[in-house]
Amino acid sequence: MSRTRYSSEPRDAEAFQDGFDHTYTRIAGVYDFAVKVLPVWKTWLKHALPYITGRRVLEVSFGTGYLMTRYASQFEVYGIDLNARMVAVAKRNLSRAGVSADLRQGTVEDLPYDDGFFDTVVNTMAFSGYPSATKAMAEICRVLAPAGRLVLMDINYPANENWIGTRLTHCWQYAGDLVRNMDRLLADHGFEYEDVEIGGFGSVHLYVCQLTER
Ligand SMILES: C[S@@+](CC[C@H](N)C(=O)[O-])C[C@H]1O[C@@H](n2cnc3c(N)ncnc32)[C@H](O)[C@@H]1O
């Protein structure tokens, strides 16, 4: 019997979102420290770098901006994150790294950019914290250029349902993250994609997605 249990969407999206937002306000400093000192997180994030392509790049939910500091010098970079403290810490990190990007506070569900503006959208370890998978994905698709690329990293079940990776995925769910059927979601939004398991016994996935239809 399969141990894969996808999450239901929250009944109260606003309360769900506010809960995460309050948490990030409390932990922004600790989060920044953890990303900088924990080799495993940095190693996961760096898997996204070779797939970023084109001229204009949007990172949705950049957190404290670690990944962005690694690629911002090579592209025209924009970023949006819901949490004001994360945005402030990311601005400081980019400035210390001597790179720049247009960073704003806002939600993935209402991106303040024109249709088709970006060649690549980057999204790491954040999608499972969004209250509506379809609203978030529709907005990401809207701002992507025709044949644009989405580089999405998040927790999900290992394809081979190994015991440790499956339990790790359950742990994220217990912690409040929403594990979705990404195969269905990406296909429904017109993507062709490669799903690479990059760590956590197959529970950390990198989806490299190409828009195929509008
Ligand atoms: C776990 S952190 C990931 C940060 C970073 N991408 C990383 O990999 O370290 C999740 C981030 O998503 C942001 N976030 C949560 N809900 C959001 C929303 N609706 N729109 C935009 N950002 C959101 C949070 O503020 C937080 O910075």
pLDDT score at 4: 86
Q: What is the pTM of this model?
A: 0.97
Q: Is the distance from the beta carbon of residue 35 to the nearest atom of ligand 1 less than 6 Å?
A: yes
- pLDDT > 90 fraction of the chain, expressed in percent and rounded: 96
**Atom of ligand 1 at shortest distance to CA of 24?**
25
- The set of residues, in sequence order, having a beta carbon less than 8 Å from that of 44 and lying 6+ positions away, is 124, 125, 153, 198, 199, 200, 204
Residue 201's pLDDT band (cuts 50, 70, 90): very high
Average pLDDT estimate for 31-49: 95
Checking if the pLDDT of 170 tops 60, the result is yes
* Contact yes or no for 186/209 (Cβ under 8 A): yes
Q: Is the CB of 86 under 6 A from ligand 1?
A: yes
Give the pLDDT score at 213: 63
Residue 186: per-residue pLDDT: 98
Average pLDDT over residues 163-175: 97
| Mutation test residue for ligand 1: of 33, 61, 64, the one with most atoms within 8 Å of CB | 61
Tell me, using a 6 A CB cutoff, whether residue 45 lines ligand 1.
Answer: yes
36-40, 78-82, 111-115, 131-135: least confidently modelled range: 36-40
Confidence of residue 149 (pLDDT cuts 50, 70, 90): very high
Could you tell me if 210 and 193 are in contact, meaning their C-beta atoms sit under 8 angstroms apart? Answer: yes
Which pLDDT does position 2 carry in this prediction?
A: 77
Q: Is 131 in the pocket of ligand 1 (CB under 6 A)?
A: no
Average pLDDT, whole number, for the chain? 96
- Cβ–ligand 1 distance for 193 under 6 Å, the answer no
How would you classify residue 80: left for phi > 0, otherwise alpha for psi between -120 and 50, otherwise beta? beta
214 pLDDT higher than 80: no
Q: What's the rounded Cα separation, in Å, for the pair 184 and 181? A: 6
